[in-house]
Structure 1
Amino acid sequence: MTLISTIGIWSKTGHCRWPRQRRCGAGFFGKSSDAFTLLELLVVLVLIVIIVGVTVPRFGMDLLNDPLKKSTRDLVYLIKGARERALTVAGGAMLSIDISAGEFSLTNPDPQAGATGQPDEPVSRTIELPDTITILSVFVGDGDRPATGPVEIWFSPQGMAGPFIVNLTDGSSVMGVDYSPFLTDIRIADEQLEPTTYELDG
């Protein structure tokens, strides 16, 4: 006894005997009824695109607007600016850190004749930290105690300066910036850094 359907011919043993179908339960297009249709896949892809489009920009904006991370990036850019400025003028560059005021300043303290033969004017750029961000500590050189007053770090005409560490905090989180002439890039960490930490990592 056999059963005839629009899908195939079934024998009483349960085996598919439709000659043009590869397997039982196959549809008109030769695909299993358990497989995803093209429409279903498109719906899933659209949902993924919508979710990513909503969450990623918001995450990116939160990252850019975070005062602690933004202040840390600004400090890193200023340090790189001091190094580049020192390489372009004969007098080097000075990075000043006012711990109590929460300010970083970049100046050319002793203008001399630059590459053009004309005196370079002092260049000053100041970064003022937001009210929610404070300078937690500053370590200069190999000192194991943080500085307590204004700090001046001189970048030579070769773009070099002694090692120093700056830790910023918003009261709940800390980010550390570590500069060393022996490192190719400025190190950033989401924790408080100290000279001993640098020695272990170096």
Structure 2
Amino acid sequence: MKLRSWISLAVLGLLLLLPIGALADQYTISVPNAQLSGTPGPYATVDLVLNGDATITVTVTMLSNFTTFGNGAGNGAFGFNVDGSTAGLNITGLTGQVEGGGVYGGSLSWDPSGGNFDGFGNFDVGIQDGTPGGLLAIITFTVSRDGGFSSASDLYSPNDTGSHFAVHVAPTNGNPTGFAGDGTPTTIPEPGSLMLFGTGLLGLAGFIRRRLKA
């Protein structure tokens, strides 16, 4: 069998072995409310990764020229919903980064009562940065519940306005702040899995070459 055929079979085999949890569901926050009408998006991305222990890791990444903030009910930084039961719902590993990559030094908390995000309705859970004027570039946390999650899309659930997420947006150019909601979802390979996949391909290619020369 030719080397090209061996490699094609190897690639197919590795693709079949990639775990479902290696895919991150990514959503773009691009729909503004009236306060952001003078500052077009997209504003942020939201990545959901289903972990092997049936938890979901959420990463909110503000795009260039935008940060997020919010320190109270109805004034949160990020809101999301939970599909199905919220029994035993808990959030751990709640951390933030400021522009430039530094660790956020203020307090971060989550509100199980959610709150209203202007223009996008009420959400099951709200994330707050606890500090008036505390501007964040990235928020990361992990969500768990009794019985666990079976899919990353368990946190992609619409509220009564049809919104799945909302972010409190602060443009860095001084324009008025406001809220923005989600747009069209995409699915992307998780970087760590791509690295493992590439390493596996290199190893298989070397093995195949040695076998063909034997």
Same fold (TM over 0.5): no
Q: TM-score, normalised by structure 2?
A: 0.26
Which structure has more relative contact order (CA 8 Å, sep 6+)? It is: 2
* Higher share of residues assigned helix: 1
Q: TM-score, normalised by structure 1?
A: 0.27
* Higher share of residues assigned strand: 2
